């Protein structure tokens, strides 16, 4: 691959690994002045290929890199225990993936710039679950929700609330079918 060595740069950044033309190229490890550590593949001084980033706050990313950013498939474990497995683009969750919160709630579906956006399903640890469309992390579009008490709503949502045509069935089996506005049934 070329030379192997160490580079010490400004702000106490340092690199240990394969070099080509005095820049990281091949496999190597770099510790950054902010406490983050990258172990993995390099191309012409850029994190590119497969690698692992251990962040100073305890978070960790393992997966594909491009142009010094998380890009491709990977796993990001947040410092609070939340875990995302899926696609990244431009250093953010973008594409299909699964996010499991520290308490066990799970979202599986599409992400756009770190947010639930598009089709997805959310399963809550209390037994509730939603399957449908999202926009900006909120239920938005068509979707169905089953609540822990056994009630259900199937229909249109806007900004996280029933809004538009839908059907709500209460825990005692009573049906409300028709138009809803901001979570309330219109007679």
In this predicted structure, what is the pLDDT of residue 22?
87
pLDDT 10s digits, 43-94: 999 999 999 999 999 999 999 999 999 999 999 999 999 999 999 999 999 9
Tell me the whole-structure pTM to 2 decimals: 0.90
**Sign of the C-alpha dihedral, residues 146, 113, 101, 41?**
positive
**CATH number corresponding to 103-187:** 2.20.110.10
Whole-number mean pLDDT of the chain?
93
- CB-based contact 167:177 (threshold 8 Å): yes
The CATH architecture annotation of domain 1-88 reads Single Sheet (2.20)
Centre a 10 Å sphere on the Cβ of residue 12 and count the other Cβ atoms it contains.
9
Token look-up 């947040």 returns 78
Which pLDDT does position 12 carry in this prediction? 41
| Residue in 97, 82, 84, 88 with CA at minimum distance from that of residue 68 | 88
Confidence of residue 4 (pLDDT cuts 50, 70, 90): low
C-alpha closest to that of 146 among 116, 170, 118: 170
User: Fold match between 1-88 and 103-187?
Assistant: yes
Per residue in 100-121, pLDDT (tens digit) is 999 999 999 999 999 999 999 9
User: What are the domain boundaries of the chain?
Assistant: 1-88, 103-187
């Amino acid at each position: 691959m070329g030379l192997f060595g160490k580079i010490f740069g400004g702000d106490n950044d340092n690199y240990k690994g394969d070099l080509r033309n005095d820049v990281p190229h091949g496999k190597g490890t770099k510790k950054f002045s902010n406490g983050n550590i990258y172990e993995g593949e390099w191309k012409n001084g850029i994190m590119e290929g497969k690698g692992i980033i251990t962040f100073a706050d305890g978070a960790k990313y393992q997966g594909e890199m491009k142009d010094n950013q998380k890009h491709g498939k990977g796993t990001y474990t947040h410092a609070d225990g939340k875990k995302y497995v899926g696609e990244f683009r431009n250093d953010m969750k973008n594409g299909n993936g699964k996010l499991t919160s520290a308490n066990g709630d799970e979202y599986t579906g599409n992400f756009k710039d770190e947010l639930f956006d598009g089709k997805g399903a959310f399963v809550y640890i209390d037994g509730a679950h939603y399957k449908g469309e999202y926009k900006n992390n909120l239920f938005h579009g068509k979707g169905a929700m089953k609540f822990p008490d056994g009630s259900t709503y199937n229909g249109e949502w806007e900004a996280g609330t029933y809004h538009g045509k839908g059907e709500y069935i209460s825990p005692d089996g009573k049906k409300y079918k028709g138009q809803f506005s901001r979570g309330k049934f219109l007679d």
